[in-house]
Amino acid sequence: PTENTVLSEYEVNSDPLWEIERSKLSLVHMLGEGAFGEVWKATWQKSENEEVAVAVKKLKMSAHEKELIDLVSEMETFKVIGEHENVLRLLGCCTGAGPLYAVVELCKHGNLRDFLRAHRPKEEKAKKSSQELTDYLEPRKNTGKEDIELIPNLTQRHLVQFAWQVAQGMNFLANKKIIHRDLAARNILVSDGHILKISDFGLSRDVHCNDYYRKRGNGRLPIKWMALEALDSHVYTIESDVWSYGVLLWEIMTLGGTPYPTIAMPELYNNLKAGYRMEPPHLCPNEVYHIMCSCWREKLEERPSFGTIVDYLDWMLTMTN
């Protein structure tokens, strides 16, 4: 049988509480795609006089059983965890007659990494003002987003607020015993009012291929975001999410830098094991660098919890108000 016959043999249980009538959705244009999935901007005719812009996640023809299971389990996770401002919200799904759709909140500014990169000063300006800044400065990419709204005069305080929002969302997930496993700036979405939403519990993993490292048939792994114990024994815990959060903090403070710019991926593990950690980003407040380093402690029990990180960032934001 072809892959698609295999997929069509799966019947996804419909859930009347979440079912959205397919005819009420119109796909507008594709926002992004991976090897097996696509995300579309769509409009949902919610009632006679209410039309909302949403995002629809769907599988491609090339998807296998594994990707279908990933999407279904991502939806199930969404359903049970409830709502939090900093976690992407599932609005509903289409399971009947046709491809499976997961309908989620639309985050019109795209992913956090590209959003931060769009705020980098132009290369010329940066060269004059700081040599270090150019170390991680890459040419501005055209992300093809017309409605992206930059924050004028983005400050350190904005960056700390971003870090605080992600920590809030992760603290919520941790309390629900959800381990993300792929926390990174590319998986945080930027919504209206620059509210950050933790997303990607499974589908669009292949979109940003460069962050992943193929390991003996295991699929792609986000090596540079992985805790030591996840690298050497595939142990994923909330503490390994805390490690990834430390790397995400580094991404925030470097306006979307690529972690470990000077280390080749196969050497990363030995370097980390020997105690090497990334240096503080240019202009990064000591307090924030201190959080990063505590997230990267070898012993998981010595890493802070997301609750502690939220409190610490709260304190920083109050002190500098």
Tokens describing residue 63: 């998807």
Site for ligand ACK in 199-258 (CB under 6 A): 199, 204, 207
Which of these segments, 74-82, 101-109, 224-232, 291-299, binds ligand ACK (CB under 6 A)?
101-109
The yes or no reply on residue 32 touching ligand ACK (CB under 6 A) is yes
Phi, psi of 213 (to 5 degrees): -130, 125
| CA–CA gap between residue 105 and residue 305 (Å, rounded) | 28
Interacting span for ligand ACK (CB under 6 A) from 68-76, 102-110, 236-244, 309-317 = 102-110
Q: For the window 41-70, what string marks contact with ligand ACK as x by the rule CB under 6 A?
A: --------------x---------------
Residue type (1 letter), 298: E
Alpha-carbon distance 239 to 295, whole Å?
A: 8
Coil/strand/helix, residue 38? strand
182 classed as catalytic: yes
- Residue from 104, 227, 253, 295 that binds ligand ACK (CB under 6 A)? 104
Catalytic annotation, pick one of 70, 182, 200, 241: 182
Backbone phi and psi for residue 220, each to the nearest 5 degrees, phi listed first: -95, 135
Which of the ranges 18-26, 100-108, 154-162, 209-217 carries the binding residues for ligand ACK, by CB under 6 A?
Answer: 100-108
Residue 106, burial from CB neighbour count under 10 angstroms (0-12, 13-18, 19+): buried
Confirm or reject binding of residue 111 to ligand ACK (CB under 6 A). Answer: yes
CA dihedral defined by 247, 249, 255, 257, rounded to 10 degrees? -10
Site residues for ligand ACK per CB under 6 A: 31-32, 39, 55, 88, 104-107, 110-111, 114, 189, 199, 204, 207
Catalytic residues: 182
